[in-house]
Amino acid sequence: MDGRIKLLCMVLLSLSASFASEWQHYLTLLSLVFIALIITKLPIIALLKDMKFFAIIILIVLFTNAFNVPGDPIPGFPIERVSMQGVITGLRFAGRLITIIMVCTVVTGTTSLLTFKNVIEWYLRPVPFIPEVRIATMISLTFALIPVIFDSYTEIMNAQKSRCIELRKNPIKRVNFIVFPLLGQILRRADEIVYAMESRCYSEVRTRALFKINKLDWFILAICATSLLFVVA
Cβ proximity to another protein, 173 vs 208, nearer residue: 208
Among 75, 76, 78, 147, binds another protein (CB under 8 A): 147
Instruction: Give the per-residue contact string, 30-69, with another protein (x = CB under 8 A; - = no).
Output: ----------------------------------------
CB of 47 to another protein, least distance (A): 21
Choices 1-9, 43-51, 64-72, 107-115 (CB under 8 A): range interacting with another protein: 107-115
Cβ proximity to another protein, 124 vs 141, nearer residue: 141
Can residue 111 be called a binding residue for another protein (CB under 8 A)? no
Q: In one letter, which amino acid is 31?
A: S
Instruction: Please say whether the beta carbons of 125 and 136 come within 8 A.
Output: no
Give DSSP secondary structure letters for the chain.
--HHHHHHHHHHHHHHHHH--SHHHHHHHHHHHHHHHHHHT--HHHHHHHTHHHHHHHHHHHHHHHHHS--PBPTT-S-TT-BHHHHHHHHHHHHHHHHHHHHHHHHHHHS-HHHHHHHHHHHHTTSTT--HHHHHHHHHHHHHHHHHHHHHHHHHHHHHHTTTGGG---HHHHHHHHHHHHHHHHHHHHHHHHHHHHHTT--SS-PPPP----HHHHHHHHHHHHHHHHHH-
Choices 61-69, 165-173, 200-208, 220-228 (CB under 8 A): range interacting with another protein: 200-208
CB of 192 to another protein, least distance (A): 4
Among 45, 167, 210, 233, binds another protein (CB under 8 A): 210
Count of residues binding another protein (CB under 8 A)? 28
Can residue 212 be called a binding residue for another protein (CB under 8 A)? no
Among 41, 52, 169, 200, binds another protein (CB under 8 A): 200
Choices 47-55, 57-65, 164-172, 195-203 (CB under 8 A): range interacting with another protein: 195-203
CA 138 to chain centre: 17
Can residue 127 be called a binding residue for another protein (CB under 8 A)? no
CA-closest candidate to residue 3, choices 100, 125, 123, 128:
123
Interacting residues with another protein (CB under 8 A): 112-114, 140-141, 143-144, 147-148, 151, 189, 192-193, 195-203, 205-210
